[in-house]
Chain A
Amino acid sequence: MPIVVEKLTYTYQAGSVNAFTALKDVSFTVNDGEFVGIIGHTGCGKSTLIQQLNGLMLPSSGRVTVDGFDMNDKKQRAKGRALVGMVFQYPDYQLFDETVYKDISFGPRNMKLPEEEIARRISEAMRLVGLDEKEFSDKSPFELSGGEKRRTALAGIVAMYPKYLVLDEPMAGLDPSGRKAVIEMIEGFRKTLGCAVVMVSHSMDDIARSADKVIVLRDGTIYKSGTPAEIFSEAEELNEMGLEPPFAARVASRLRKQGVPLPGGIYTNEALADALSGIKGGSADA
């Protein structure tokens, strides 16, 4: 069963002079196991939207259901929320306990799981994020390096075995190797847990590489949604919105302008290279 967002509208400070509608009539579905990327420039409503997915914020109108649980309903919300794991931008928002082990156990413990199940899940989560259990279990989360903190925070969510994993800018502030590691971890979660992923990111290249479906938000409405090929092949359109398309898409768009007959739908280096070698072969024949 999916997450279904229906005609979702959200207004901050409704009724006051400062009322601001952050989301307008947004509808979409996150299917089981799907990877949905959400893009849009700062202030387009991305953060507000993902907080609706587990009921941290409630719609002003419209409805969000998680596997049929209506998030507007207080009792159903708790059940729905348990299915959605939410990773915030900075790990510093959630790390609090004396040891890494205890911190990761916070979520599973709140789910009232039996002790041996909690232990099993923590081992699994630590393995998935690449933290050595022996080395890190008893360390204080506050002594860790930035990258290790992020892994611990991720493990804390993954140990809850969410059916849907929602990530808000999980790569912000990381160096290139750190970014790669996070992408690989997310792939690992999907393989092992079979969870669906909803990821908000400014990095179009990362979204292009992993997403099954991309949603473009603009001024609180869904401007466009579709496969990465559909979204990213229109490089100019994204540029106008202040979004930087994947590098290969930008190169392809420039080459087309300069008269190189490239087909549409190119947004990865590999596809671009293939297309270019085709053209080269073709023109050599001529």
Chain B
Amino acid sequence: MLKDITLGQYFPVDSVAHRLDPRTKLILLIMYITAVFIVRDIWLFGVVIAFMLLMTAMSRVPFSYVMKAIKPMRILLPLMFILNLFMIRTGTVLFSWRFITITTGGIKQALFIVLRLVALVTGASLLTLTTTPVSLTEGLEKLLTPLKIIKFPAHELAMMMTIALRFIPTLLEEADKIMKAQLARGADLESGNIFKKTKAMVPILIPLFVNSFRRAEELALAMESRCYHGGEGRTKLKVLKFRMRDLWAILIMSALIALIIVLQSTLSIDGVIASFVLGLLGIDR
């Protein structure tokens, strides 16, 4: 049933990774992404991957579960690999036949691209697997709170995320019911070209929108009845607290990044920034 979809696919076990403060985990993710992008050496990349595996082990989430995140990319990944393999022509030519040329640079680049994507997606999914959407939202709100100085609506953003998370299953279920109601009236959603199919969606989208607006109105009334008046003066059921383990986690991650920087002997700041930018662009030197 659509109802059973759990968003962010939280994996409910108790582990060090689960107990870390959500803010720590968000910071760790950002640091991890930085590490993935600045690493230029394929062997050092092995260290990053090993680190990822270690974190997975510590989270007590089954490895296969973490790897599920890659499933939606099962077409993209081979495609990226092949494109890079054939398009990049640096280093030694290993093989050449008509318009196909494979070079050492190409292999390295193709491997890098794929590994980077896998590392990023699994890292991010590790965050959502070990953190409930609620505490993730809380962590984000807290991390963004300093930005209130520049009028950044941190509380409102978090509230919107919470409501969205709350209502997505409800709306999916409703969409399913509406679709069935219209199918029962002989709606044809399958045949015809794209234009026809889009038009056939109208009888489903309109009730869905109308109902969503009504829901939003009723929810606003219910929230007002419960004295909601914005983020000002609000207290929290759960107060986030940094603990020793949070400090350790950040220290260890910092050490990893330092290691990468030192070993790549790009000690100058310029070099690191350059690596990062190049990494982002997917260009390998």
Binds A, one of B133-141, B185-193, B234-242: B185-193
Number of A interface residues at 8 Å Cβ cutoff, please give it.
26
- The listed residue with most A CB atoms (<10 A of its CB), out of B177, B185, B202, B211, is B185
Whose C-beta in chain A lies nearest to the C-beta of B207? A96
Q: Is the CB of B210 within 8 A of A92?
A: yes
Binds B, one of A105-113, A198-206, A211-219, A222-230: A105-113
Chain A positions 149 through 177: 1 when the CB is less than 8 Å from some CB of chain B, otherwise 0: 00000001100100000000000000000
Please provide the chain B residues from 207 to 225 with a CB less than 8 Å away from any CB of chain A in the complex: 207, 210-211, 214
A51, A92, A156: the one within 8 Å of B185 (CB): A156
| Residue B183 at the chain A interface, CB threshold 8 Å | yes
Q: Is the CB of A96 within 8 A of B4?
A: no
B174, B177, B180, B185: the one within 8 Å of A106 (CB): B185
Q: How distant is A54 from chain B, measured CB to nearest CB, in Å?
A: 6
- The listed residue with most A CB atoms (<10 A of its CB), out of B183, B202, B206, B207, is B207
Q: Is the CB of A110 within 8 A of B211?
A: no
Q: Is the CB of B4 within 8 A of A56?
A: no
| Residue B203 at the chain A interface, CB threshold 8 Å | yes
Q: How distant is B175 from chain A, measured CB to nearest CB, in Å?
A: 10
With A94-B182, A106-B203, A110-B188 known to touch, is A18 a contact of B4 (CB < 8 Å)?
A: yes
Residues of B in contact with A, size category: 20 to 34
Residues of A contacting B214 with CB < 8 Å? Answer: 92
Q: Is the CB of A54 within 8 A of B207?
A: no
Chain A positions 36 through 71: 1 when the CB is less than 8 Å from some CB of chain B, otherwise 0: 000000000000000100101000000000000000
Residues of A contacting B186 with CB < 8 Å? Answer: 81-82, 106-107, 110-111, 160
Q: How distant is B174 from chain A, measured CB to nearest CB, in Å?
A: 8
Given contacts A13-B4, A96-B182, 16 further A-B contacts (CB under 8 A): A56-B184, A88-B177, A88-B181, A88-B184, A92-B211, A93-B178, A93-B207, A93-B211, A94-B178, A96-B207, A97-B206, A110-B185, A110-B186, A142-B210, A157-B184, A157-B185
Give residues in B with beta carbon < 8 Å to A: 1, 4, 174, 177-178, 180-188, 202-204, 206-207, 210-211, 214
